[in-house]
Structure formats: structure tokens, C-alpha cells
């Protein structure tokens, strides 16, 4: 299996297809396998790169090696290993933090940024407090919280597949999230001075982690960013409505990507 190395951690990746490159970045409940339908769809017209972020799936690491500072450089390491000078990034949930850090640190290597179901590390204190209130009131855990209400009954086989992919993450500890998403890692308005990367936020109407109202608020901090709302889905539009999600990605890239 192919690996890219960064800071002593081996990052597993896959590359499919030919054409303009797209890198897909998974969330906390997933790994590179989460994008199976996007790989099949986009590899017909694009080079598609997926990888298990450090600490997930086939890219194990120690707690001390899981830091915000490595997220962007891991993406760069995978691009280097695949001889990819430039790519669009499509991210989901935690992957949005990695993608935004890469967009800020390597703007010359990114064709466009799509952030789904995430605030991409842009979490001002007032929103952080409101999210904490939602968290305290929450009684739903993964994997149910990853979907719109009732998804497990509507799609039992796909729900089970999601659970199986989640089970591959045998090393990652959810408590590690604080190492990349705490207040000290949050981006502020000054972090986007001279920011010119074409950016869109995608959010499901029933997202139980980051409701649309929060995503719209933080998107306003990112120069030129737009928001696309997808109805009838929750935190995982790429999984719940892959055709609709892929259509948003394709249309946006066709209009905005700088290949």
C-alpha cells in the first residue's frame, strides 16, 4: 500500500483517475474509505486522491503526534507523494480544519476549497459557547448524530456500512479533537488577510453538529466565501445524498476552481 511520510508518521493514500486533481478529506467518524461513492463518480473525469488522516484507519499515530500544525503539511506530503502540484480540496467535518489550514498555508497549491458540515476551524467565542450549549443538551451519539433523523430506518444497509467504516478507526481517541479544535487553534478575522482561495461551505439542513445558522455566520469571516444549503440531510450530505452533493461539488468547481 502507498504511504506518504510526514514528521515520522506514515499517511496511507490512494490515487485514482486522470485530470484536474481533487483531494477528499474525511471527518472524525470516517477515513479514506468514506468517500467510496465520490471516488467512483469523480475518477471518471478527475484525478481523485483520498487518504486516512493521521490517527485514523491505516495512518496510526500517537496522541502527541496528533496536532493542528501537522494537518496542512500532511496534505502537502500526500500531494508530493502523488506528484500533484495543485488540487481542489473537498472536506467534511473535521477534514474542514485540515483543508482550511492547507488553504492558508499553501494557497499556491489549492485550486478551490469546499468545506462540508464544518466551520473549518473558524469558531469565535460566542459561537463556541452556543455550540457548547447544544452539546450539553445533546442525547444522540454517533453514528446516529451523523445523519438526519430517521436515516438508520430509511437506509439500514448504508447505515451499517457507515458503522463498519467508523470501526476501522481503532487508534483515534475522540478526546484528541481538543488538540486541533480548541480555542487556541481557532482562526480569527486577521487570519484571512489577503485570503483569495475560492471557497464554499456546504451544510445539511438537519446538521446536528453544526447547524446552518452557525455555518452561515462563520462563512462571512472568509473573504468571498459562499454557502450552499442542502435540504433533507444532516451532517453527512456526501453519504446521505451523494448525487446531490456531487452535483454541488461539480457545479461549483466548474464555475470557480483555478486549475
β 87-92/199-204 pair status: unpaired
Contact 133, 125 (CB under 8 A): no
Half-sphere exposure in the Cβ direction for 214 (13 Å, CA): 25
Give pLDDT, residue 100. Answer: 98
Mean pLDDT over residues 197-201, rounded? 98
User: What is residue 4's three-state secondary structure?
Assistant: strand
Contact 81, 57 (CB under 8 A): no
Give pLDDT, residue 205. Answer: 98
User: Distance (Å, rounded) from C-alpha 112 to C-alpha 82?
Assistant: 18
Q: Look up residue 218 and give its three cell numbers.
A: 462563520
Percent of all residues in the chain with a pLDDT value above 70, rounded to a whole number: 100
Given a cut of 80, whether residue 134 has pLDDT beyond it is yes
- Residue 51's DSSP bridge partners are 13
Give pLDDT, residue 162. Answer: 98
User: Distance (Å, rounded) from C-alpha 96 to C-alpha 131?
Assistant: 17
Given a cut of 90, whether residue 245 has pLDDT beyond it is yes
- Where are any strands of DSSP class E within 133-252? 199-204, 226-230
pLDDT confidence bin for 90, thresholds 50/70/90: very high
Mean pLDDT over residues 131-144, rounded? 95
Contact 168, 33 (CB under 8 A): yes
Percent of all residues in the chain with a pLDDT value above 90, rounded to a whole number: 98
Mean pLDDT over residues 183-187, rounded? 94
pLDDT per position as a tens digit, 8-57: 999 999 999 999 999 999 999 999 999 999 999 999 999 999 999 999 99
Mean pLDDT over residues 92-110, rounded? 98
Given a cut of 80, whether residue 1 has pLDDT beyond it is no
Total-model pTM? 0.97
pLDDT confidence bin for 250, thresholds 50/70/90: very high
Give pLDDT, residue 190. Answer: 85
Count of CB atoms situated within 10 Å of the CB of 129: 9
pLDDT per position as a tens digit, 151-163: 999 999 999 999 9
Instruction: Give CA angle at 7 (6, 10), nearest 5°.
Output: 50
pLDDT per position as a tens digit, 62-86: 999 999 999 999 999 999 999 999 9
Given a cut of 90, whether residue 189 has pLDDT beyond it is no
pLDDT confidence bin for 214, thresholds 50/70/90: very high
Given a cut of 90, whether residue 204 has pLDDT beyond it is yes
User: Distance (Å, rounded) from C-alpha 146 to C-alpha 155?
Assistant: 13
Give pLDDT, residue 28. Answer: 97
Give pLDDT, residue 231. Answer: 98
Mean pLDDT over residues 191-219, rounded? 97
Amino acid at each position: 500500500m502507498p504511504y506518504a511520510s510526514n514528521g515520522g508518521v506514515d499517511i496511507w493514500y490512494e490515487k485514482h483517475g486522470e485530470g484536474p486533481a481533487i483531494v477528499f478529506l474525511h471527518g472524525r467518524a470516517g477515513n479514506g474509505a468514506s468517500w467510496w461513492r465520490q471516488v467512483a463518480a469523480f475518477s471518471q473525469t478527475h484525478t481523485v486522491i483520498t487518504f486516512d488522516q493521521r490517527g485514523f484507519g491505516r495512518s496510526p499515530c500517537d496522541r502527541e503526534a496528533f496536532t493542528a500544525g501537522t494537518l496542512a503539511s500532511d496534505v502537502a506530503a500526500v500531494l508530493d507523494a502523488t506528484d500533484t502540484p495543485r488540487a481542489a480540496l473537498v472536506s467534511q467535518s473535521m477534514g474542514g480544519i485540515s483543508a482550511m489550514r492547507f488553504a492558508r498555508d499553501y494557497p499556491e497549491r489549492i485550486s478551490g476549497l469546499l468545506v462540508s458540515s464544518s466551520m473549518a476551524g473558524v469558531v469565535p467565542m460566542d459561537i463556541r459557547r452556543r455550540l457548547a450549549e447544544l452539546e450539553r443538551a445533546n442525547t444522540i451519539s454517533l453514528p446516529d448524530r451523523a445523519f438526519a433523523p430517521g436515516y438508520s430506518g430509511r437506509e439500514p444497509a448504508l447505515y451499517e456500512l457507515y458503522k463498519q467504516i467508523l470501526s476501522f478507526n481503532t487508534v483515534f481517541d475522540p478526546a484528541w479533537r481538543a488538540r486541533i479544535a480548541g480555542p487556541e487553534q481557532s482562526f480569527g478575522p486577521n487570519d484571512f488577510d489577503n485570503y483569495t482561495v475560492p471557497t464554499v461551505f456546504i451544510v445539511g439542513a438537519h446538521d446536528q453538529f453544526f447547524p446552518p445558522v452557525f455555518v452561515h455566520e462563520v462563512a462571512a469571516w472568509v473573504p468571498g466565501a459562499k454557502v450552499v444549503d442542502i435540504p433533507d440531510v444532516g451532517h453527512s450530505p456526501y453519504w446521505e445524498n451523494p448525487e446531490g452533493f456531487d452535483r454541488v461539488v461539480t457545479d461549483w468547481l466548474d464555475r470557480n476552481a483555478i486549475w
